[in-house]
Structures are given as C-alpha cells and as structure tokens.
Structure 1
Amino acid sequence: MAGYFAIFLVLATVTSGLIWLLDARLFAPKRRQQVETAVAAAGGKLPEETIARLTKEPWLTETARSVFPILAIITVLRSFLFEPFQIPSGSMMPTLLVGDFILVQKFAYDVKDPVFRKNLYRNSLPQHGDIAVFKFPNNPRLDYIKRVIGLPGDRVIYRDKQFFIQRACPEELQGNCPGLEQVRYTFAGDSEFTQQGLPQKQYTERLGDRSYSILQTPALAEQKQRYYRQSGTAIDEWVVPEGHYFAVGDNRDNSQDSREWGFVAEELLVGKAVFIWMSFEFSDNPDRVLPRWVPSGVRFERIGRIQ
C-alpha cells in the first residue's frame, strides 16, 4: 500500500473531479432551466443580478472546480514523473547530506499506480551504482534511499570493508562466467565528517562505469554479528535472488542496509534519485536561539545532478 499522503492525494483528486462532473451533468442544467423559466415568466428579461444568483455554483462545486486541475497535475507529476524527497539521515554521505531535497524519477524503473503500487508499465530496471528510493522491506510505509550494489543473480561479498562482486551469469555463458571482481576504490583524503566523534576517510569507488564518493570510519570494526544470514553462504556473502537487489549506503560504517536486513524486492522500488533541487544546512549549536529544525543556511553549491 502506498503512503498515506499518496492515497489522500488520489482521493482528493477523484472526489473533486466527481463533484465537478456531477454538477456539470446534473445540477448546472437545472440552474440554466431555472433561468430560462424565470426569463419567460418575466416577459423575456431579467436583471443581471438575478441571473447571477440563479446560476451561481454552490461553494463546494466552485471549490472542486478550482482545485481539481491543480490536484490532477500534482497527482500525475508525483505518481508517474518526479516525486520530491528530503534526506533525513547521514547514511548516504557524502553523496547526500541531511537537509538535501531531491527529486526522484518515478518512471526510471517500472511505473506503478500511486495507491496499490501495481505495475502499469514495464520500463528499465536498476543498474549497478544507481541511487534508488524504495519501500523499506521490513516496514513498507517507510522510504529508504541507498546505492544499488548487487543485481539479481549477483554474488556479493563485503570483507575487510571492501566489496567483491561476481556478476550474474546468463545461461548462454555458462562455463565461461566472469569471476569475482573487486569493487575498487582509491583514497581521496581525510573527510570533514565524523562518526561518534571518530574521524572518517573519503574514498572514490568505481563500480562498472560509475564513480562516486564513499565514507569509511577506520576506527570502527565491521559489525558482522548484525549481518543478514543467507542460507548456504558465508556470513559476509550474499547471492541476490531473482527479482531482488542488494543496496547499501555510501556512509559504509553508518548505514543500515542490505548487509543487515537483506534484499530489496523489485515491487518495492519507488524510483531513481536524479537531482538535488535544494539543500538546507542545520546547526547543532546548543546556544542557538532558533529551533534545530529551522535551517541555518542554504548550500547552493549542492544543487545539481546526483552522481
């Protein structure tokens, strides 16, 4: 089931449209008939004020007629084209920061209806390195955003804070399948960010033809005891089932992702994050007079396409 806002938006659009249509087909003709009857009774002429009073729409119809086109446009844009999201946590740092407002391209993957999320149109599927928004598998009312590391059929290993991938092998290549490939990354320098007061380091990771930045906290050990256990594999190894994806945060030591809760089913996909349209900065200064939820600045330099 879609989020409550999506359901409310669809219901509001349908309700206002039905009210407008019902009035146009049933009540408006009756009002016009009243005017014609009154004109005939008055000998062919009525004051403009009387005509306006007799043809005036009820306030509910007038409101529905005014808001329906706006609601319809918003519903179509939000459901099938682009939907705005706000980044609430630091799991995708440094790519996405708390306070970033992003646009998610809904038609990048399968197009779904906004209420029951059933496929309406088969489009493309996520690729290695995509930043995808999806419904959290353990609670589909929550939206998560992560980077896609593993595709259906991929064998994914995360060992010593390093990803290795053996890509899915099509049937026609059986016997000549690719081997285990290291997802290479290079040191990009000490980061300005910290985790639990510990310094973080920034790396540039390359997955296929995608390059992007990630963060690691060297002082923190891998939390393998929290990893999702898949039958028949090692504790730090996963084979992505058909119709599922393996998605992780760019802030590798500060992200709850597929390493902990498993795979993302294809039907849970919402869309692909493509653009930062606004970015607010928030202050943690305890001496600040304004509440923490009030922005302390705007990061105009972050506006642009998402890598």
Structure 2
Amino acid sequence: MSKRPSPTVRRRRLARELRRLREAAELSTTQVTRELGWAAGRINHLENGRHRTDPSALRDLMRLYRIEDTKKVDAVLALGRQAREKGWWHSYSSVLDADYLGFEAEASTVSVYQPAVIPGLFQTAGYAALSARASGAVTEGDIDQVITARLERKKLLRDDLNLLAIVDESALLRLSHSPEVAKEQISHLIDLSEGVNRVTLQVLPLSAGLHASMGSGFVILDYADESDPSLVYLEGRTGGTFLEKKEEVDDYRQVLTSLMRSALSENESLKALKNLMKEV
C-alpha cells in the first residue's frame, strides 16, 4: 500500500493552520462568526478538525484574514480538498476506530504496547477473528470486515513505516487454548522479527514483574512532517482518546522507554518466540 495523504491527518493540519491564521489576523472566534454570519460554534468545529470544510467557506476565511498570497490560498484549499476525501478505512468505521486508522495511515513511526492482545498490525487473520469474537464488540457478520481491515493495515509494513511493538507475554500465553491460531500467530511474529528491518519487536515477560504501564495499553504516532505533531492514542471499548499536548506525549515516551528496558532484547525476544513455538 503506497502512502497516500490521509484525510484525517490533513483535516488536523488544516485545523491548526486555520487557528494560526485567525490568531495572526487578531480576530476572535466570535468576531469571525459575526463577520461571516456563520452559526455559533462553526469556526470552533473547523479549528478542532471536527468539520469538513467546503471550498467557499475556506475562501471566505482567507478573505477575512486578508491572505492575498495566491500560493498560500491554494495551499489551504488543497488541504481542504484532501481533508474531504475518504480513506480506505471509511468502509470499516462500524467495526474499527476510523479516526485512529486515519492517523495511523500517514504515521512514519508507530510505537505500541498492549497488555492483553497482539498489536493490530501484527495480527494474523485467524487471531483477528478470535480476538473480535472474544471482545463481543462486533456481530458474527462483522468478523469478515474486521479481518479485511486488519489485513489492509498490515500492508503498511511494506512501506517506510517504523514499527516498535512491546508484546506482553500474557497475550502469547492466552493463545494456548487455540493451538492452530497460536502456531500461525507466533510464526508470523517470528517472520516479522527476522525479515522486516523497520520492525522492532520486544517481548515483555511475566518475570519482569510490575512495570510502568500496568493494565493499560497505548500507541504513540509520530510523523515525518513537522506540521503534524505526535499523538498518543488510548483505546477504549466504546471509542478511543487522543492526547496531543507535548507534556502528555513526553510522559508516554518515558513509559515506553521504561517498558523497553523491562522487556527482553530483540534477540532474546526472538528466542523466546521460537521456544514458545516448540511448546504449542
């Protein structure tokens, strides 16, 4: 899958740019609303990235903000156009968090820790189906969609994505009651560890004891373009939460660093996976 502009990322970038331009024009959201005759809250929705913007609205804002540089205006309109597109994940929004998939799609680095399951980008089709059924969050009829979406996400591994995953040993041991799925999933993890240069996989053993992220998983998303600040994603049963403040992201980076120290090294993790494979 070639990396294409993500509408979700572009909408966030557009929101930040619209806020910057308004502040540079020294206008409040109330003044913008009054000058353009917009409904209350519309400008706030635009600046929070929760509203798809039509070209006429963007042109009105550029005129109000006195942006006369045609290249600048064209750049904002292009962002708006990209933000209105639909990503491949749109078809799977009923079974997976579409906002997260949108942010993941353009990330240059994904760092993930999950305490109880194999991270999504590492899941086989069989494991994805087993996990979806166990969660009870989707119907049996949705399972095929979950599997297809997982396989689409895995195509990201073929591009220039840097992926760091801390796999909890408890997630591996939970596979013991499904030998066929276990063999396929563990074999896949071994293949990834041995064959993809941009993938770093570490196993967090039970012997590590208490650690910095007990009971909660997280994902840190970093981007190549400095216009797109890093994000932390916290997955919930009914929806996820995104953290954007620098101090919040820095805190989770410290947690990740601590987990990496507690986990087995890459070579030790590969040996542990191969030993586990013999026991399945």
The alignment's TM-score, normalised by the length of structure 2, stands at 0.29
For the pair shown, the structure with the greater C-alpha radius of gyration is 1
Larger % of helix: which?
2
The alignment's TM-score, normalised by the length of structure 1, stands at 0.27
